[in-house]
């Protein structure tokens, strides 16, 4: 499909080790369709 616009969203979490970044990412992934989490 030529000329189609695709909306993309990138969420970057920054924090100390063991600050629940992965837990947040997994929760977000469960709520949003077509989501990929790179940990």
- The pLDDT value recorded for residue 5 is 86
Domain ranges in the chain are 1-39
User: What's the pTM value of the predicted model, to 2 decimals?
Assistant: 0.63
Between residues 16 and 36, the one the model is more confident about: 16
Instruction: Categorise residue 23: left if φ over 0, alpha if ψ from -120 to 50, beta otherwise.
Output: alpha
pLDDT for 1 beyond 70: no
Q: Can you tell me the mean pLDDT for 27-36?
A: 88
Please state, in angstroms and rounded to a whole number, the distance separating the CA atoms of residues 26 and 35: 10
Instruction: Categorise residue 20: left if φ over 0, alpha if ψ from -120 to 50, beta otherwise.
Output: left
Percent of the chain with pLDDT over 90: 33
- The pLDDT value recorded for residue 34 is 84
pLDDT for 37 beyond 90: no
Please state, in angstroms and rounded to a whole number, the distance separating the CA atoms of residues 4 and 25: 28
């Amino acid at each position: 499909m030529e000329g189609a616009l695709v909306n993309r969203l990138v969420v970057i979490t920054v924090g100390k080790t063991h600050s629940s970044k992965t837990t947040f990412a997994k929760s977000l992934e469960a709520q949003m369709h077509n989501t990929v989490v790179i940990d």
